Amino acid sequence: MKLRLSNKTFQSNHLKILQRYINNKSHAHLLGVDYDFYSSLQNTYTLNKTDTVSSQLSNNKKFQTIVLTDLLETTDDIYSLFQQTKQLLTNDGKLVVTTVNYKYVFVIKFLEFLKLKNKSPKLSHINKRHIINLAQTSGFEFIHSHTKQIIPFHGFGIIAFINKFLEMFLSKFNLGIIQYIIFKNIPDKPFLNKRTLIVPAKNEEGNIEILFKELSKLNLHEIIFSVGKSKDNTLQVINECKNKYNDLNVVVHEQSQDGKANSIWEAFDFVTGEVVAILDSDLSVEPKELENFYTIIDNNYADFVNGSRLIYPMEKESMRTINFFGNRIFQFIVSFIIGIRLSDSLCGTKVFKKEFIDSIYWWQKEFSLFDPFCDFDLIFTAAIIGEKIVEYPIHYKSRIYGSTQISRFKDGFKLIIYLIKSFIIFNTSKK
């Protein structure tokens, strides 16, 4: 992202800030950098400069410092970027992420409209909290962050002085245009668990064959299909695929009661793995994304991983407009109640440890109110017992078969009542 309003003064200030984090003995690596002024560092530091991480992986080089500049907003898999970056760092290496402050996104769009800035590609809805969250789930320790540079204009030295003056005060409020986030590498100590996947399925006949094909590529201990009373041949197709993909450990359960929540609750009785994931059968989330969910738990970076559909750009028509705004409202309310900021509270993709299920049973007994999707049950349970909750952004896709089975108003009303009671319990429960 290169502002036409940027100038040598603005860029040189950026350089000076980066120099804080690069020791003169460091072997540093700059990624996503296209500024000519970085060449001035070559006499002092051992530097590499490329646009991709993957181009360096084959060299087997380790760097003490890596700088990621303006990459995260346009990257379609931020978690993988962090994972690859981690492979390039020494055990005690440092990662410096620079990005445009998310508070200025609308300003940037306005500058593009006025043709004062080059047109940006489609950007992710990622802010500092998301960046820290994803870095921590990739094995980085957050050190600190700050913003710099208030005014990106050239002013014959005057602007530089004004910037310095404003930064002394306004940067404390995170009002600088450029954001600097510093992390330290933590060596991995993975613990491999047996992985269980629960798949609620109802009226999804056309998705099942593709789903089995994708699941066969994953390292899963067991797959539990909890099948509702469908109007199509969902159950029959699942059984046919179970026989076809006989190398998979598949359990097929027919629900005794209707609804997605009951589908999940009944599936819990069949879990034998140590880490449990839930994935909808509509293929709106590709199964391969689960691998990173499981890895986060395996490395003890989190106790509960909640998927978020609202960070990366979605496919067209993957979510109705009214659902999008409804999700935003529920996300705000849920975040307020539990004291943990989430960007998506109704994503069906989640992962947690098996022992967590006992706490979910306690919550349901305490709560005695119906959550039609089980999303709130899981999130509120994790929050009230003090689990470390993190979000993982997923790529949300349009259906290739069938239609959503959500009743917008009926289910929405149930969720509102649920939130009211959950607010009371969160403030009165002795758990």
My answer on whether 216 and 262 are in the same domain is yes
**Alpha carbons within 13 A on the beta-carbon side of 113:** 6
Residue where one domain finishes, among candidates 160, 185, 210: 185
Residue 146 in any domain: the answer is yes
Total domain count, the chain = 2
CATH value at residue 333: 3.90.550.10
My answer on whether 199 and 164 are in the same domain is no
What single letter denotes the amino acid at residue 63?
F
**Residue 64 domain boundaries:** 8-185
pLDDT digits (tens, 9 = 90+) for 257-304: 888 999 999 999 999 999 999 999 999 999 999 999 999 999 888 999
My answer on whether 33 and 151 are in the same domain is yes
Residue 308 in any domain: the answer is yes
pLDDT band for 24, please (50, 70, 90 cuts). low
Mean pLDDT calculated for residue range 98-105: 81
My answer on whether 255 and 385 are in the same domain is yes
My answer on whether 113 and 216 are in the same domain is no
CA pair distance 95, 334, nearest whole angstrom: 32
My answer on whether 168 and 206 are in the same domain is no
Q: Are 30 and 67 in contact, with CB atoms under 8 Å apart?
A: yes
CATH value at residue 46: 3.40.50.150
pLDDT band for 3, please (50, 70, 90 cuts). very low
pLDDT band for 321, please (50, 70, 90 cuts). confident
My answer on whether 270 and 154 are in the same domain is no
Q: How far is CA 417 from CA 124, 200, 337, 402, in A?
A: 32, 24, 14, 29
CA pair distance 364, 416, nearest whole angstrom: 17
pLDDT digits (tens, 9 = 90+) for 177-227: 888 899 999 887 777 789 999 999 999 999 999 999 999 999 999 999 999
Residue 176 in any domain: the answer is yes
pLDDT digits (tens, 9 = 90+) for 135-179: 999 999 998 888 877 776 655 667 667 777 776 666 567 778 888
Residue where one domain finishes, among candidates 155, 185, 215: 185
My answer on whether 181 and 304 are in the same domain is no
Residue where one domain finishes, among candidates 154, 185, 216: 185
Residue 1 in any domain: the answer is no
Residue 3 in any domain: the answer is no
My answer on whether 256 and 147 are in the same domain is no
